[in-house]
Structure 1
Amino acid sequence: MVKLFRSKIYFALVLMLLVLLFGVLGYRFISDYSWIDAFYMTIITVTTVGFSEVRPMGPEGKIFTVLLIITSVFIVGFAISVITEYILSRNSLQLLKKKRVKNTIEKLSDHVVVCGFGRNGMQAAERLKAYKTPFVVIERDKELIEKYDNEILFVEGDANDDEVLLEAGIKRAKFLLTALPDDATNLFVVLSARQLNEKLFVISRASLVNSQKKLVLAGANKVIMPDKIGGDHMASLVVMPDLITFMDKLSMEGGDTTNLEEVAIEDFADQVDCNSLRDLDLRRKTGCTIIGYIAPDGEYIINPEADLKLQPKSKVIVLGRPEQIKRLNEMFHIA
């Protein structure tokens, strides 16, 4: 739609330039005006300002002026209508788009709210999109929103504003990622979000070490320090490069390439007798290997024994090739 209006505007501009050229050439050769006088006469005629002519014209000049006035009136009128229609339609399209986004967000629940679409926020959004996890991004940079608004649900505004958080569906959300560059701003967002939704799982970015404890006290469940993680990763590549490279190969880009899966015991309970890890027998059925167990109280057990008793609301961490993970999901109907 926008492209169609733009082509009409270009067409109207071309017509107006042709009218000006037609007028200048006509006065120059019909009435024998100089180029400056011809341009002056064309402008006052097309714009109908009513000034007198440079000098008296003959019959040919008067007839030409009448034709120029009639032609320019229609073309200028056409140009004005096209530009007006474009402006009104653009505003209407923006309103419709915002309304559509608002309706989509209102239908979401258990989604992720991402505050900030900078370097970290953009990476988080790409990963969430790869896993087909519904999310909403709060961002105040209009240019950034216009660049990605066809791919991502945006709420324009300041994440510190409670109204903006509510518009992003914070009360129905399950997770909040605060990826703003300033620690103080992240702290205020965490405080506001925690007041609006006590059950929210909050993950915050931090730049300074002393901000970590403050963010936890404010209500953040996890605090991530990208600079620290990056430094540790580079140092680890020096100390144990092969191990870190292998860990990097455990790709978690999306559903079709992942090598790791987190599965709740309830996903198995209705289909197999799962009193212990041995009962699941995932290695034989799917080729996947259980490398971790998460107890209901949050305790992590690495490389658990096969006879480990499974408890309700616990989880297992499964390792496998992408096709094995896919087989696991299909066999046990894991979403």
Structure 2
Amino acid sequence: MRKITFKILTRLPSKYATTGLILIVALFIYGIVGSYFIMGLNLIDSIYYAVITMSTVGYGDYFPHTGIQKIFATTLALAGVALLAYVFNTLLTSFQEKMSKYSKGARKMKAINDMDDYYILCGYGRVGKVVFNELRQRNQNVIVIEKNEDIYESIEENESVVSIHKDATEDDFIAKLAGDKCNSVIISTGDDVSNLFIVLTIRETNPDAWIVTRASKIENISRLKKAGADKIVSPEIIGGKDLYFESTKPHLLRITVRHATDEIYDEFEIIAKHGCTLESIDYHLPGIEAPLTREIKTMNLLDGKKFQNYLNTHDDQKRALNNLYKITNNTHSHLISGQDRAAFDKLVEDLGKIEEVIGINLTNEKIAKITEKEIE
């Protein structure tokens, strides 16, 4: 406790000490000058009289007699009392604030130590808030590190959320937290330099930590990867994909079909024939709303041929794909982009000739209800 108290006192803001010292010196000069010219004392006695009057000791060896002398002594004594009260109150208030911060910090560290596992989120800006909400929806423990005091104060804490007001780039504090109990470190600040420094700091002492970081600029992705980030997410890339898909919504088709693996290449032929692009495939587990999704993004018939040859030469992969089709009862959805509605109409007509078309633009909920009947 004595060490903590000394540490707090030695870290009191310098502005308080400076202001108090200036006021004391100014009042002391006023006391000496007044004692010399108003009280008629010599320099040594003036210093002595100023000290005992400011401190309200008043030994009684010097008495003011005239009105001006009494006014001077009164103002010096009152100013001394007021100054002592100000300095003492300032120091006490600052001391209490520091003690409160140390106590609050100790409680936060205890809460962290009591967590079985947690995620560390660096940065609670626009991107960080989205990540935070996703984590909380899944009832995950989260430690938020935010250097902006206003943003930090806005974070609501509970038994599963601990916020730390700190710059993650200042020291190795975050590296100490990214130990065995940390599931992942998510770095979401908008400054790639800070993100890079944080990645380096963590990776230096935690080689096994899982680090996911944001990259504001595409050219910094390779740097963050070299620094030790396991996954790098660029809002520019994600935003560009979202803009593209939003712009093509009138020309996007989701067709839910049922067929076996030996008809995959036939699908490729029809999609390529109508100048469309196979964006992704959703595999629907019976009765489960959320599908298994694979990104494809191809309109080249040669890709379909390569995939067919790959399956024909890799028995394990072909067996795995066949098992997936069996689990889903051959039911899956294709997200296809095309030139116009007419191309889609012809595409659906041709696909219907080689496989069973369950529906067009069905929601996952509707598909789950359809597949649920297969397991009743």
What TM-score, normalized to structure 2?
0.45
- Larger Cα Rg: Structure 1 or Structure 2? 2
Of structures 1 and 2, the one with the larger relative CO (CA 8 A, separation 6+) is 2
What TM-score, normalized to structure 1?
0.50
